[in-house]
Structure 1
């Protein structure tokens, strides 16, 4: 029989082996060995075939896994792309949400919807005999021309302002605001005062702002019309005296922006003077019109107004030099600085204004409110105040108000006065403070017999101590509400008692020589 080459090689090997062992093995034994060897080789070959088959299958599985891995990688890239796209969409949604929140916050800051605000003060005051007494920030003879003194511990009236507003923001971004103010002032202590009520609608106006059709300097401006206090009036609260008070019925536009820090307000206000007593006059009803340009450059303000009241020149004022006719025109100007520090010296705030008026503009505070001013009337006023903390528990607010007015009501008259006022606050606890106020006013008044007023000269001073309770920020001098107990001492030059028979000084029980007043008062605003 024929042997396969590998078997032949094995046989030769066995032969040689047998030869080496002595050549004593028979042919049948050799053949048997060959058969056993062939069988073992066949088994090995079968195992090798199976192993090769398994290797082929494993290789196929590897290829399948590689294909699956490639597919998974592609799917992973697709998923990653989807995640990236989703992230972009999420970012867009977040951005839109942020915009909506900002818009919502803007609407919230615009106080969209209804809003209620108010101011009120009310209290009782008596002298050291437990009887009624005279009081008020304008209690001195200089008060007739605006000479205010400190108000703390010097008020006995109930005054209330109630403000209702409705604000709205349109889809276009335009805004509207409607406001009405109801006010009443009383000196009666009774609970029912309808018979002596001074209930009045002091404001009723509409504003339209951010109109989308406005562009350039008018883009962010606000139109208004109605009866109102001018938005940019400001005052010295400790004296209860406005530095400038422009009010009436009319219309205008706020915030015409010429540059980043330069803007203007323009307005027309109408007011009414007392009717003329002369029935032969063409028109006994006198209306006064005020045209104003109010300009701002950073912290500086320059205000210029012109006034016109037809036929008001028929009004006659009588003095020792005879009759002087009232003015029918006038002008007014104000230059102010609104500081964000205490006169540049330390933290706090301060405001300073210089005002001048001529003719009908010679009433420089309540602009256009006095129809008895003459053609030659001229008034110069300085007003300044500041607020600053001076230590952890102390704050101070000094104020100065000074004025000179000539030919005001009759030819040759002269009204001069100067007021110094300071309020100190000492913080005791979170809800309790001690308030101190001192005022001094010097006046030199020569009315030339107008309204039977007499020439006087002298000084007035007032000192007040007021333990005060409050629930707001005790360190903020302007936070309210407050409830105050107070004791006030005031005195003045005896000569001032003879200024007029119709004013407070010189009346029964209220003459020079020293006056004590005691009382309790609340004040609030929100």
Structure 2
């Protein structure tokens, strides 16, 4: 077409007569050639514009489709005083059909770990742990700072979903392992264990009234509302096992209840005649800062269990029991200032006389009784100082043998002195008095006396020095401990009185890391 237009134009000018000279014809042809180039360039620009328009349309379609699916993002965990608080790492399900796709779903990874090296003043092996004293057998823990020779790890993997209906799901599995060897390869002595595996369903749209915002669960788990005194590594109450329950049945603005049924096993599962199932029914009630927890339990034929040779394991063991807790959860330091505090009074009878780990001790007598008091608080003192005192005391009678008694009390104080953004000094003092009269049970002897421990620990943190519940931390430490010599005679297989670990004063040194997220 362009060539025809040029030819016609040339012919027209040629027919105009001889007035047109050859030089004029050459000039016209040059102009027409330039016009042809401009037309070609215009067509190329039009073609490029059409291509870009199509690409833009395709990109717009892709963006519109992407808006229908969750975006994979890693959310940073906020600064918090809760060990459990983290933000999830979201994972998009791109292959899920739009008709059945959930509004959001994602995985979370949580963890806890501590690992440390402990030695005495002669650079030799020493004893340690919060249960190092004779009272430790019945829950009498002492301060844990500068007193732990182990490596302990918890790995938690969770998957959460929020469905289009608003309902939520959560699956959690926990692996845990504890070691006291310092070697890198510890498979032969591993205690690796699946401690939790459960599912929760929440915000179910068909639930109304008191159940409207409740959560239903089933599986193997730690109860959600357990709480502990971290400084002495002791739970105030620990309800755990395999079962099912419902959380957060609401009766008012500040009143709610949890109902659960847990099962625990007594005895050696390799021997069918040596097991009994303990079933624990618990109603846990909260009204503002107050807590009232009541549990009843039954382990049918617990007193009939036999060993592999057919002998009764404990013919006078309890088959049932009750447990109760009254708690106060303050959002201030005992009403005296900034901080927080928790206090609980516990009582147990029969199988419930193991008041910390509810329903876990199958050797208790039907008449066993235990009282337990626990209290701790956290508060800033000003000028970079922070304080966390704790008290834990227990009295138990007729526990394993008629007429026996186990009484002890622990007072613990941890102080933090902040120096820079990344360095603090930690100080801890722990005192425990015990009066233990086992009446010969498990070849234990009656003893009474006191235990003392003082620790100084220079500590490095990435941030938030002075925060008792902020990790990770790396600590150097020096601990001095001593106890009454009478306590060395409690048992032949416990820490006190063992080789190189007798009354008279003991220096321990070491380094430890601790982290959670």
- TM-score between both structures, scaled by the size of structure 2: 0.78
Matched, 1:386 2:377: yes
Task: Identify the residue that residue 282 of structure 2 maps to in structure 1.
Answer: 292
CA distance in 2, matches of 1:505, 1:182: 32
Matched, 1:467 2:454: no
CA distance in 2, matches of 1:454, 1:276: 31
Q: Deviations over 1:165-210 (max 9, x none)?
A: 0000000000000000011000010000000001111000000000
Task: Identify the residue that residue 142 of structure 2 maps to in structure 1.
Answer: 149
State the SS of the aligned residue for 1:325. coil
CA distance in 1, matches of 2:179, 2:265: 23
Task: Identify the residue that residue 107 of structure 2 maps to in structure 1.
Answer: 114
Matched, 1:406 2:384: no
Matched, 1:476 2:467: yes
Structure 1 contact 161–183 (Cα < 8 Å) conserved: yes
CA distance in 1, matches of 2:283, 2:401: 30
CA distance in 1, matches of 2:385, 2:306: 52
CA distance in 1, matches of 2:108, 2:454: 39
Deviation at 1:412, TM superposition (A): 0.3
Matched, 1:355 2:350: no
Larger Rg: 1
State the SS of the aligned residue for 1:259. coil
State the SS of the aligned residue for 1:306. strand
Structure 2 contact 222–239 (Cα < 8 Å) conserved: yes
Structure 2: gaps (5+ residues): 1-66, 76-85, 91-104, 308-313
Deviation at 1:240, TM superposition (A): 0.2
Matched, 1:164 2:154: no
Deviation at 1:109, TM superposition (A): 7.2
Matched, 1:248 2:238: no
Match for 2:293 among 303, 309, 323? 303
Match for 2:123 among 106, 112, 130? 130
State the SS of the aligned residue for 2:474. strand
Q: Deviations over 1:323-357 (max 9, x none)?
A: 87110100000000000000000000000000000
Task: Identify the residue that residue 361 of structure 2 maps to in structure 1.
Answer: 370
Q: Give the aligned length.
A: 415
CA distance in 2, matches of 1:288, 1:457: 33
Task: Identify the residue that residue 450 of structure 1 maps to in structure 2.
Answer: 441
Equivalent residue runs for 1:481-492 within 5 Å: 481-492=472-483
Task: Identify the residue that residue 234 of structure 1 maps to in structure 2.
Answer: 227
Task: Identify the residue that residue 199 of structure 2 maps to in structure 1.
Answer: 206
CA distance in 2, matches of 1:477, 1:331: 35
Deviation at 1:275, TM superposition (A): 3.6
Deviation at 1:316, TM superposition (A): 9.1
CA distance in 1, matches of 2:162, 2:273: 45
Matched, 1:329 2:320: yes
Deviation at 1:285, TM superposition (A): 1.6
Assess, with a 3 A threshold, how the Cα gap between structure 1 residues 504 and 237 changes in structure 2: closer, same or farther.
Answer: same
Structure 1 contact 113–168 (Cα < 8 Å) conserved: yes
Matched, 1:396 2:412: no
CA distance in 2, matches of 1:207, 1:430: 40
State the SS of the aligned residue for 2:267. coil
Write 1 or 2 for the structure with the bigger share of helix: 1
Structure 1 contact 276–286 (Cα < 8 Å) conserved: no
CA RMSD of aligned residues (A): 2.1
Matched, 1:313 2:306: no
- TM-score between both structures, scaled by the size of structure 1: 0.77
CA distance in 1, matches of 2:466, 2:183: 35
Matched, 1:510 2:501: yes
CA distance in 1, matches of 2:365, 2:269: 15
Deviation at 1:274, TM superposition (A): 1.5
CA distance in 2, matches of 1:270, 1:313: 18
State the SS of the aligned residue for 1:213. coil
Structure 1: gaps (5+ residues): 1-96, 318-322
Assess, with a 3 A threshold, how the Cα gap between structure 1 residues 461 and 233 changes in structure 2: closer, same or farther.
Answer: same
Assess, with a 3 A threshold, how the Cα gap between structure 1 residues 408 and 510 changes in structure 2: closer, same or farther.
Answer: same
Matched, 1:274 2:267: yes
